[in-house]
Amino acid sequence: MSQWLWFIIPSLFILIFHKFASRAFRLRRLMAALPTSKVQGVFIGLVEVKGQAKGVTHTTFLEETEALCSQWTVEEEWQKTEVDSDGKTRSSSGWKTVASGSTIPAFFVEDETGALRVHPEGAELTQNLTFSYRCRRRDAFYYAKGPAKGIANSTGNRRFRENTIQVGDALYIMGQARLREDVVAPEIAADPDTGNRYIITVKSEEQLARGAFWQGLILGLLAVGLFPLMTLIDAAPSYFHSLWFPWLTAFINLLILFALWSWRIYDDLVQVRNRVDQGRKNIDVQLKRRFDLIPNLVDVAKQVASAETSLHETLAQLRRGTTLEGPQKSVGKQLLAVSENYPTLQQSEAFLTLQNTLVDTEDRIALSRDYFNEIATHANTLSEVIPDKFFVGLAGIGHTELFEAENFERKALVVNFDDLEAPVSNDEGTPLVES
Q: Is residue 18 one of the residues assigned to a domain? A: no
Mode of pairing for the β-strands spanning 328-329 and 405-406: parallel
pLDDT in tens, 297-341: 666 666 665 545 455 555 555 555 444 444 445 555 555 666 556
The helix or strand, by DSSP H or E, that contains position 117, with its residue range, turns out to be strand 114-118
For residue range 224-274, list pLDDT tens digits in order: 776 666 655 555 455 555 555 666 666 776 777 778 777 777 777 777 777
Min mean pLDDT across 72-81, 163-172, 391-400 is at 391-400
Highest mean pLDDT among 78-82, 235-239, 328-332, 374-378: 78-82
**Residue 421, pLDDT score:** 58
Does 408 have pLDDT greater than 50? no
417 domain residue, yes or no = no
Residue 76 in domain = yes
Q: Which residue from 325, 307, 301 is spatially nearest to 317, judged by alpha carbons? A: 301
In this prediction, residue 71 carries a pLDDT of 96
Higher model confidence: residue 110 or residue 284?
110
Residue 170 — pLDDT band, cuts 50, 70, 90? Answer: very high
pLDDT tier, 194 (very low <50, low <70, confident <90, very high otherwise) = confident
Question: What's CA 205's distance to the chain center, in Å?
Answer: 12
Look at residue 258 and give its three-state secondary structure: helix
Look at residue 430 and tell me whether its pLDDT is greater than 50: no
Tell me the residue range of the domain where 83 lies. 42-209
Tell me what percent of the residues of the chain surpass a pLDDT of 90. 29
Instruction: For residues 76-94, give the mean pLDDT.
Output: 85
> Is the model's pLDDT at 30 over the cut of 60?
yes
Max CA distance (Å), the chain = 108
Higher pLDDT, 171 or 8: 171
Least confidently predicted of 40-49, 61-70, 340-349, 402-411: 402-411
- pLDDT value at 134 more than 50: yes
- Residues paired with 100 in a beta bridge: 73, 428
Q: Is 246 part of any domain? A: no
Q: Is residue 182 part of a domain?
A: yes
Does 136 fall in a domain? yes
> pLDDT at position 325, please?
46
Q: What is the mean pLDDT of residues 25-44?
A: 78
pLDDT at residue 147 greater than cutoff 80: yes
User: Of the ranges 196-200, 239-243, 285-289, 308-312, which is most confident?
Assistant: 196-200
The answer as to whether 269 is a domain residue is no
pLDDT at residue 214 is higher than 80: yes
121: in domain: yes
Roughly what angle, to the nearest 10 degrees, separates helices 244-304 and 309-320? 160
Which letter, b or e, does each residue of 76-99 get, where b requires 16 or more Cβ atoms within 10 Å of its Cβ? bbbeeeeeeeeeeeeeeeeeeebb
- Supply the Cα-derived Rg of the chain in whole angstroms: 30
Q: What does pTM read for this prediction?
A: 0.64
Q: Is the pLDDT of residue 223 over 50?
A: yes
Q: State the total domains in the chain.
A: 1
What is the per-residue pLDDT for 319? 52
- Average pLDDT for the chain: 75
pLDDT computed for residue 316 by the predictor = 58
